[in-house]
Amino acid sequence: MTKRKILNILLIGGIAVVLVAFAFTVRVRASADSYAVLKTSGMTCGSCSYKISRVLQKEKGVASVKVDVDQGVVVVGYDSKAQRPEVFAEQVTGIGYGSRVMGVLSPEQYQKIAGGAATAQKPGCACCNK
């Protein structure tokens, strides 16, 4: 074999390894067939919203998270075959906020109620000293 053929084989092999590595790191987004509405206490700012969103988005089956700091509500869109809504309340409670499941909505019910509601965040608070 010539040096050029060996180099091409190594290059193609390297590319294949990189593609396989990327394939394992890509997380397939879940689709929401249910929306858990959590009543959550102790949230005071955008930092609280971020912490809650981050912990819930790591859960299996979660498609979306909306946090309304002013109303004390967290809405989690999730695949009901992959997760239970009580798990979300437990995760939020585990990071220091009070949380309980208020109800579960179908996608149609959620669309009717939400109608494009955005995530509410207030700047600064005592919990993060900003």
Amino acid at the residue 101: V
Q: Considering the entire predicted model, what is its pTM?
A: 0.68
Amino acid at the residue 69: V
The CATH number of the domain holding residue 89 is 3.30.70.100
Q: Is 48 exposed, middle or buried (0-12, 13-18, 19+ CB in 10 A)?
A: buried
Question: In this structure, is residue 60 part of a structural domain?
Answer: yes
Could you read off the pLDDT of 29-75 as tens digits, one per residue?
A: 668 899 999 999 999 999 999 999 999 999 999 999 999 999 999 99
Question: In this structure, is residue 23 part of a structural domain?
Answer: no
Question: In this structure, is residue 44 part of a structural domain?
Answer: yes
Question: In this structure, is residue 39 part of a structural domain?
Answer: yes
Question: In this structure, is residue 101 part of a structural domain?
Answer: yes
Q: If you search the block for the tokens 């009070």, which residue do you land on?
A: 98
What range does the domain containing 39 cover?
Answer: 34-114
What is the DSSP secondary-structure string of 86-103?
HHHHHHHHHTT-EEEEEE
Cα–Cα distance measured from residue 61 to residue 31, given in angstroms and rounded to the nearest whole number = 8
Question: In this structure, is residue 59 part of a structural domain?
Answer: yes
Count of structural domains, the chain:
1
- pLDDT class of 123 with cuts at 50, 70, 90: very low
CB 52 within 8 A of CB 40: yes
